A and B are shown apart, each in its own frame.
Chain A
Amino acid sequence: MKRIVRVSSDLRSNLVAYLDGELDEESSRQVEMLLAQSEVARHDVEMLSRSFDLLDMLPRENASENFKQETMASVAALDSKIPLSQQQWLHSLRKGLVLLCCVVVLGLAGFGGYVAGQQLWPTETEEALEELPLFQNLHHYREVGEVEFLKQLQQQNLESPLQGDYSAEAAPAEEEEQQ
């Protein structure tokens, strides 16, 4: 018994894809079910296939015998007038310049870092110079012994041995020690 099944537009477009082997498994199964049920669909598929096969009758036009030679001659002509932007040496020069710029930038960054480091972190000599008064008055601090005592002196408005120039005081002491 013949069964007439209406072919939806989606399924219709799937018929071509089915013939071309471009459908996934599920869609292929749907098309096969349709083909099993619908004589109209079977007829459509056959006509689609046979009309496509007729295209084989179209002549396949080949290139003329000298096509390759002419093309290669055009290529040779092209090579002789390569624009400046495509010259190999320009590409190399560009790469070299980029590399040089990178080196310069890195060098500047390194120098800047060194200078900044010098400013931010003093050397041992600078640290020693900064602490020179401390070393010069070290014998006073040893005699005082405690910080609390110095604070008491400060509170009594007495001149702290930390203030002022102690180099003059230190010198006689050293002389006394030598004697």
Chain B
Amino acid sequence: MVTTSSLDLKYLKDPDVRLMLRVRDGDEKAFSQLVENYQDRIVSIFSHILSDHEAAEDLAQEAFLRVYRTRRGYQPTAKFSTYIFHISNNLASNTRRKKKRQKEVPMPAGKTTTFGVRPEEELAVEKSALMPVRQLSREELREQVRQSLESLSDREKTAILLHKFEGMSYQDIGVAMEMTDAAVKSLLARTREKLRVILEPLIK
């Protein structure tokens, strides 16, 4: 049963919050729907942060399992996307800490990852096949952009990815990353400035 006494009713408008409340009440189909809604988004963010697709899928699965394990105590105090990215950010932070402790050798920035290709990108490549010079230029540019992202710290990377690909507001990023709005503003300004310095020579 949903108790709304201590809840902010505005979050109940979020359809994913309503799905999660059904999960809390034992509806497994609702959970399956949530996985479907968020799997690509979370795997994509983790892929960019970890530069490892397989590790990204493992971590994304762990994030979903954590959501499921803690479902009984769920209270809708934020949008569901903010909630799940908060969990994901914590998991990513823990993974980074573990890696540091184990003193693993980090993957070099320029190394090719296992990223796949989206259908629209396939289409773009097909079109560009008629213009070999332009295709090369585009691939080079993409590699430069990828490297610029790699040059960022994990926090900077997470913040910029949540903002760029999830369209999250500073406030939501703050909740997901446990930071104040002002700190998010400062972090994103610094990150964008770094990207500008790196990428400006590539912009014609």
By the criterion of a CB under 8 Å from any partner CB, how many residues of chain A are at the interface?
32
Shortest beta-carbon distance from A122 to chain B in Å: 48
Complexed CA–CA distance, A72 and B189 (Å): 39
Which of B39, B117, B138 makes the CB contact (< 8 A) with A67?
B39
Most chain B Cβ neighbours within 10 Å, of A48, A63, A75, A78: A63
Residues of B within 8 A of A60 (CB): 40, 44, 118, 165
Which of A62, A64, A75 lies in contact with B31, CB distance below 8 A? A75
Cα–Cα, bound, A74→B57 (Å)? 13
Determine which of B32, B65, B116, B138 lies in contact with A59 in the assembled complex, contact meaning CB atoms within 8 Å: B116
Chain A minimum-CB-distance residue to B36: A68
CA distance A58 to B36 in the complex (A): 22
A47 contacts B by Cβ under 8 Å: yes
Say yes or no: B189 contacts A62, CB within 8 Å. no
| A179–B141 alpha-carbon span in the complex (Å) | 135
Tell me if B47 counts as interface (CB < 8 A to partner A).
yes
- How many angstroms between the C-alpha atoms of A74 and B28 in the bound complex? 12
**Complex: A55 Cα to B145 Cα, angstroms:** 7
**Cα separation A50 to B202 with both chains bound (whole Å):** 10
Given the known interface contacts A20-B163, A55-B164, A61-B56, the answer about A71 and B189 at a Cβ–Cβ threshold of 8 Å is no
One digit per residue, 1 when the CB lies within 8 angstroms of any chain A CB and 0 when it does not, for chain B 21-51 equals: 0000000100110011001101110011000
Majority SS at the chain A contact face = helix
Stretch at the interface among A9-17, A33-41, A96-104, A160-168: A9-17
Q: A61-B115, A75-B28 are in contact. Are A54 and B65 (CB under 8 A)?
A: no
Within 8 A of A (CB), among B129-177: 138, 141-142, 145-146, 149, 160, 163-165, 169-170
A-B pairs with beta carbons under 8 Å apart, 25 shown: A12-B189, A15-B189, A16-B189, A22-B170, A44-B196, A47-B196, A50-B203, A51-B198, A54-B141, A54-B145, A55-B195, A57-B142, A58-B149, A59-B118, A59-B121, A60-B40, A60-B165, A61-B53, A61-B56, A62-B44, A63-B57, A68-B35, A71-B61, A71-B64, A78-B65
